[in-house]
Amino acid sequence: MTVLALNNTLKSLLARAGVDNPDSDAADIIRAALGFGRPELITRGGEAVSDETAENAIRLARRRASGEPIQYVIGSWSFMGRDYLVGEGVLIPRDDTEVVTRAALELIRPLPSPAVVDLCAGSGIIGVTLKKERSDAHVSAVEKSDIAFDYLSRNAALNSARIRLIHADLRDCAEDFADGSLDLIVSNPPYIRSTEIKELQSEVQYEPRLALDGGEDGFAFYRLITGLWTKKLKQGGYIAFEIGEGQYDTIAGMLAESGYTDIKAYWDIQGIRRAITAVYKGK
């Protein structure tokens, strides 16, 4: 079987299963199974593929056809130009998170050697990106889940990002940071209402509930972080959250009551307010 024939076989298998993007997913599986990129599907399409490699690619495609997210199937995903290892038990990197990451980078741009903590760090896409874009930053990343922390550690190493890794519940490690020591708190916390998780699309059901469940109203972690971690910020320090659709007003009110000013919204490509930032001035 040639590379092109294998690619066509995968596309056909995925299309019959009703996968939304069979062409794209087949190309991703080819990349994972054969170890080369999408452009090479054209330049190397006539090359022969071993039976073992073809069988492995078809096994991956069958996993995707069963509904498993493509990111888990191939074991990695790109975020802001860097690759991250992912799999069952860790939240999948999404373009949505680029909004809060870019906002965070802009906030710390004028600060020398900023001290940053990434809470609910998951696979590490925010903390690693901040460190790679600002090599002088002192970045800490906090993650509770054993599985997600393993991915966080591996992704920091994969991207040569020297960040402080903290395997703990964010409720238990706040005292590891001195009051008034941080320039930025950034987080993409769980923000889906508990009762709405079962209504999410089937692919999302593969992702860890721990990374999705924001409590009864979706705001549990925003309240927790704002209440417990605000005092760790310097006067004039920043907080930056990824948020869900329709959550901006409630979180803005929460921040204002906690001594934050200059509250700003950041929109994603769909016109949804996807991130919020604020400056801590003290109560």
pLDDT in tens, the chain (283 residues): 899 899 999 999 999 999 999 999 999 999 899 987 666 777 777 889 999 999 999 999 999 999 999 999 999 999 999 999 999 999 999 999 999 999 999 999 999 999 999 999 999 999 999 999 999 999 999 999 999 999 999 999 999 999 999 999 999 999 999 999 999 999 999 888 888 888 777 778 788 888 887 888 999 999 999 999 999 999 999 999 999 999 999 999 999 999 999 999 999 999 999 999 999 997 6
Among residues 268, 263, 266, which one has the least CA distance to residue 278? 263
194: which residues sit within 8 A by CB, 6+ positions away? 213, 214, 215, 216
182-187 and 115-119 strand pairing: parallel
User: Are 147 and 90 a contacting pair, CB within 8 Å?
Assistant: yes
Query: How many residues comprise the chain?
Result: 283
- Res 149: pLDDT: 98
What predicted TM-score, i.e. pTM, was given to this entire model? 0.93
**Residue spans of alpha helices (H) in the chain:** 3-16, 22-34, 40-43, 51-65, 70-74, 96-108, 125-133, 146-158, 220-229, 248-257
- Res 38: pLDDT: 63
Among residues 164, 7, 148, which one has the least CA distance to residue 85? 148
Among residues 213, 221, 210, which one has the least CA distance to residue 88? 210
Q: With 0-12 CB in 10 A as exposed, 13-18 as middle and 19+ as buried, what is 17?
A: middle
Crossing angle of helices 51-65 and 22-34, rounded to 10°: 140
- Res 37: pLDDT: 67
23: which residues sit within 8 A by CB, 6+ positions away? 11
User: Are 131 and 163 a contacting pair, CB within 8 Å?
Assistant: yes
* Three-class HEC string of 18-52: CCCCHHHHHHHHHHHHHCCCCCHHHHCCCCECCHH
182-187 and 164-167 strand pairing: unpaired
CA atoms within 13 A on the CB side of 33: 26
CA distances from 141 to 116, 188, 249 (A): 9, 12, 27
